[in-house]
Amino acid sequence: MRLADFNAAPVTDAAEVLRLCLDIPRWIDEIVVARPFKSISALTSFAAAAAPDFSDDELDAALAHHPRIGEPPAGSSAEAGLSRQEQSGLGGSGDTAGRIAAGNREYEEKFGRVFLIRAAGRSPEHILVALQERLRHTPQEERPVVAGQLREIALFRLDGVVTP
């Protein structure tokens, strides 16, 4: 969607575009209300700062839409399509893929939620290193990392779904 169309869209339509990026209603509402934006840069800058502290419930709800790293997203929704594109370069060696899968399970057992990282632009080996580092975190240390990764994914997606 072009920025001009996003700015002029009815609230519900603009919200649906943003929901593809990050399904946190408070984040969506702040951005929709702040329209119009003069540029993509202004939109992404605002989105980067919107709803600065996600609650645990917001994080859990948003994470429910994200597949495990290295596993194909289920379904044919637009969100699943975005996840497929973002993880398209994660073939990796069988060993790396197996270690990511094992790390995913360990992460979920430890933190009670799916391991999330912005996959776009990262190699399987880089993701594995990040996963291993994050497994050493306490829940208190990991929470802001998860929120930051959600925001990175949202901004990456926003840059693709709203164009100049």
pLDDT of residue 73: 56
What's the whole-number mean pLDDT along residues 38-64?
95
Q: How large a percentage of the chain has pLDDT more than 90?
A: 78
pLDDT of residue 129: 97
Q: What is the pLDDT of residues 71-111, one digit of tens each?
A: 765 555 555 455 545 554 555 568 998 999 999 999 999 99
Q: What is the pLDDT of residues 117-144, one digit of tens each?
A: 998 889 999 999 999 999 999 999 999 9
Taking CB atoms within 8 Å and a gap of at least 24, the contacts of 125-134 are 125/92, 125/96, 127/69, 127/70, 127/90, 127/100, 128/96, 128/99, 128/100, 128/103, 131/69, 131/100, 131/103, 131/104, 131/107, 132/103, 134/107
Read off the pTM: 0.84
Residue 155 has pLDDT above 70, yes or no: yes
Three-state SS at 2: strand
pLDDT of residue 64: 86
pLDDT of residue 85: 56
Domain ranges of the chain: 3-161
pLDDT of residue 92: 54
- Please tell me the CATH code under which domain 3-161 is placed: 1.10.3330.10
Whole-angstrom CA distances from 41 to 30, 67, 90, 150 are: 16, 28, 29, 19
Whole-angstrom CA distances from 66 to 103, 150, 163 are: 16, 10, 24
pLDDT of residue 86: 53
